[in-house]
Structure 1
Amino acid sequence: MKSFHPRRIKGALRYLEINGSGVPIIFLHGLGCASSFEYPSIATAEPLADKHSILVDFFGSGYSDWPSGFGYRIEDHAQVIYELVEHLGFDVVDLYGHSLGGTVAIETAGLLKDRVRHLVLSEANLDSGGGQFSRDIASVNEDIYVRQKHLRTVQHSVASGNADWATTLRLSDPKSVYLGAKSLVEGSASDWRELFYKHAARKSYIFGQRSLPNADIEVLTENGIKTLVVRDAGHSMSLENPEGLAAAIAEALT
């Protein structure tokens, strides 16, 4: 586990680095998740085993710190990932982001511009309004979520059979989860979908089979986005079919 201290932030961002060859791929996780929990088995799976991989835990998640002055919005996370790429000295990168992490990847790509070779998303939030979980989290005020609803969300996740997400959610900063969800619901000054469509990188979007049908497949295809499907998986595809997700990411990078 390595640490990075961004400018003007009192806290350490932590990440796993798996040495390999070629263009580095940076893994960005979803809301209440952690790359250090989800992606080691994917980054080391046969289709990606020779890649140079960086598995980042966002501030407020996993092994990273919970800096009190950090904003925890999509654009805040993107700025930190941009600074991490600068710190590591990468001239070009591939970005993979899931759900909230996919939206962060879009904003990061906007900052890095032509230094992003491939932009690979899996069930990312392309539009404001959020998904089921983020809307539910953001439906109350911050104090109620932090003091009461965070623990209830963890308990509900366990009861509904989503114990893996409950594990990383339990270890996340409740404030960071709330502000991340609120950011997804409110959107940002940037139109995420348009940023994605217009970016010069080679772009792919991955769906879990259980999330289909989804009308966005046609829309994305019409806009030149390569679409891929991970069989026997839904939104939590990294946990439900890690081998399938690794193969899909590898295909997106070809």
Structure 2
Amino acid sequence: MHAAPVTADGAHIRWVEIHGAAAPARVYLHGLGASSGPYFTAAATHPALAGHRSLLVDLLGFGISDRPTAFGYTLQEHADALAAALTAAGVQGADVIAHSMGGAVAIVLATRHPDLVGRLVLVDANLDPVVPTRHLPGSSGIATYSEEEFLAGGWEEVGIRVGPHWWSTMRLAGREALHRSAVQLARGGTPIMREQLLALEIPRTYLHPAGDTQPAGAAELTAAGVSVVPVPDSGHNVMLDNPEAFAELTARALARGRAADSAGGDIGRDIGRAVPCGLTRP
């Protein structure tokens, strides 16, 4: 386990690091209420992705990282704290693979700290604000509570709605961190994450479950050079539902990104056209 102080009062972000000699480093970021180790270890060690120095980072307030109650947990604050940790780790120009809320943080990181991010793979990431709705899990449901209501018992109601798998990592989160992060994610960044993503000039891929409809604004994303790639036999937790396809398509996206860097062209539009044979949900 590795750690770095990221706030003025010494709160630490921690991560699990997998050794690899290939460059650049790869940074994996979890979603709301999750932890990068449980969600990404299989992908980071998959033959398609192994060999790079890989940092499975828990954002401040989640997993094995500290849970400071004085921290605001805005997307900008998450991104700046993450930037401090990556700088301490000697990371620059990383491949960032980021799920859900982690994808929103990764977009803000690339916008505010462009030297730290070389290529971006977003995994069913939040791009737009959402309307808080009490019966839904995730940021939409959590954001319907005031912080006082959430701390007084709302977190237990959320635990029932999200089910045992998600709750196994969500229960580790600081409750202030969980609520504030959800509220900020539901509101969206400034400008919103979609606008920031469209403005980035690095290779970008957006993976989404193939069974869902095309992500909102997919044509606009594609026109801006973002490769929108469906992953078969998967739901929101793409890397857990179909780890083989996730690893193969992520590796292909990053390889296209490196080729685009070398050639000065776009990332390529055929990443998701042919999914390797035999990739099925376990």
Q: TM-score range by the shorter chain?
A: over 0.9
User: Which position in structure 2 is the counterpart of 1:137?
Assistant: 142
Matches of 1:152 and 1:238 in 2, distance apart?
A: 27
Matches of 1:203 and 1:108 in 2, distance apart?
A: 14
Matched, 1:11 2:11: yes
Is 1:19–1:52's contact at 8 Å kept on the other side of the alignment? Answer: yes
CA-atom RMSD in angstroms: 1.7
Kindly state the Cα deviation for residue 220 of structure 1 after the two structures are TM-superposed.
Answer: 1.7
TM-score normalised by length of structure 2: 0.83
Aligned sequence identity (%) = 31
Matches of 1:148 and 1:29 in 2, distance apart?
A: 25
Within a 5 Å distance, the mapping from 1:151-230 to structure 2 comes to 151-158=156-163, 163-230=164-231
User: Which position in structure 1 is the counterpart of 2:50?
Assistant: 49
Matches of 2:172 and 2:216 in 1, distance apart?
A: 34
Kindly state the Cα deviation for residue 4 of structure 1 after the two structures are TM-superposed.
Answer: 1.0
User: Which position in structure 1 is the counterpart of 2:259?
Assistant: none
Kindly state the Cα deviation for residue 141 of structure 1 after the two structures are TM-superposed.
Answer: 0.6
Greater fraction of residues in helix? 1
Matches of 2:151 and 2:253 in 1, distance apart?
A: 38
SS in 2 for 1:17: strand
Q: Give the structure with higher Rg (CA).
A: 2
User: Which position in structure 2 is the counterpart of 1:73?
Assistant: 74
Is 1:9–1:69's contact at 8 Å kept on the other side of the alignment? Answer: no
SS in 2 for 1:211: coil
Alignment coverage as a number of residue pairs: 250
Kindly state the Cα deviation for residue 130 of structure 1 after the two structures are TM-superposed.
Answer: 6.3
Higher relative contact order (CA 8 A, sep 6+): 1
Kindly state the Cα deviation for residue 216 of structure 1 after the two structures are TM-superposed.
Answer: 3.3
User: Which position in structure 1 is the counterpart of 2:114?
Assistant: 113
Matches of 1:168 and 1:91 in 2, distance apart?
A: 29
User: Which position in structure 1 is the counterpart of 2:268?
Assistant: none
TM-score normalised by length of structure 1: 0.92
Structure 2 residues without counterparts, runs of 5 or longer: 256-282
Is 1:37–1:62's contact at 8 Å kept on the other side of the alignment? Answer: no
Is 1:33–1:62's contact at 8 Å kept on the other side of the alignment? Answer: yes
Kindly state the Cα deviation for residue 89 of structure 1 after the two structures are TM-superposed.
Answer: 2.0
Within a 5 Å distance, the mapping from 1:24-39 to structure 2 comes to 24-39=25-40
Structure 1 residues without counterparts, runs of 5 or longer: none
Kindly state the Cα deviation for residue 72 of structure 1 after the two structures are TM-superposed.
Answer: 1.3
